[in-house]
Structure 1
Amino acid sequence: MKPATAAKKLDVYLPATPQEFQQNPITRAELAALQEDPPQWLKDLRKNGPHPKNLVAAKLGISIGGLKRGGVETALTTEEINRLLEEKPDWLVAERESYQEVLREERRLKSARADQAGD
């Protein structure tokens, strides 16, 4: 598989991986080995980042679109994410509220569909 696909499956930011990883196809066996017994570079990336946008958004409790609206265009490290969570800029507070509202609405709709299917 392509390195980008493998990075996505490993939940790591491809440009932060070693050059060897970025430049060579990864077999399913190699991917399984990385998942089962991650090398130090993978452990460090998962712990400290930089993290891909999907993980940044999840750690901040917002959507990927919310990151963009907040001006976050690049991958963030764990330290940068923690700093945002401590500082709570206005955009982050608003995006978290908006995201929670979206999740509540999705749960309501799911429940309504389940009720209709049960009738």
Structure 2
Amino acid sequence: MTSHQSTQTMKPATAAKKLGVYLEATPTEFQEGVVSRTELNALQTDPPEWLLELRRTGPHPRPVVAAKLGVSIAGLARGGVTEALTTEQIEALKKDLPEWLVKERATQAEVRKEAVRIKEKKAEQAEQARQPRS
């Protein structure tokens, strides 16, 4: 018996997410086709001009916008940002620094600080559990 391995494919939305781009801004042929694992790897290692341009100028999907602004996706929603933004729009927000952005960045900093505290506490507890009791 010979093993027949099928080509693994994904929907364009999944591929766009893995590439970190906004699906609606990709070329029509990308949006309407399927993407194989091989094609995705090729796009990642040797991106075509359209992909480079999208990554450079956007519009960017919300996870990318959130990362560039230093906030969570929920923080974007609380700030009223529900659509994809271009790099230019993101830079304008960074420059203008609206009140919601300052607040959400502070919230995100607290969340990160708490995550570090919890991680350190768990490491300390694990270390104590490894030590022999007398």
| Superposed structure 1 runs of 4+ greater than 3 Å apart | none
For residues 89-114 of structure 1, what are the alpha-carbon distances to aligned partners after superposition, in whole Å with 9 as ceiling and x for unaligned?
A: 00000000011001100100010001
Q: Which amino acid aligns with 2:75?
A: G
**TM-score with structure 2 setting the length:** 0.88
Structure 2: segments with no counterpart, 5+ residues: 1-9, 129-134
1:88 aligns with 2:97: yes
Q: 2:74 — aligned with what?
A: 65
Query: SS state of the match for residue 33, structure 1?
Result: helix
| Structure 1 partner of 2:3 | none
State the superposition RMSD in angstroms: 0.5
Match for 2:53: what amino acid? Answer: D
* Shift, 1:42, TM fit: 0.2
Identify unmatched segments of 5+ residues in structure 1.
Answer: none
Deviation digits for residues 68-93 of structure 1, max 9, x if unmatched? 00000100000000000000000000
- Report how many residues are paired: 119
Which residue type is aligned with residue 101 of structure 1?
Answer: E
Between Structure 1 and Structure 2, whose CA radius of gyration is higher? 2
Residue 44 of structure 1 corresponds to 53
TM-score by length of 1: 0.99
* Amino acid paired to 1:48: T
- Aligned residues: percent identity? 60
CA distance, structure 2, for counterparts of residue 24 and residue 96 of structure 1: 38
**Shift of the alpha carbon at 1:36?**
1.1
Residue equivalent to 1:78:
87
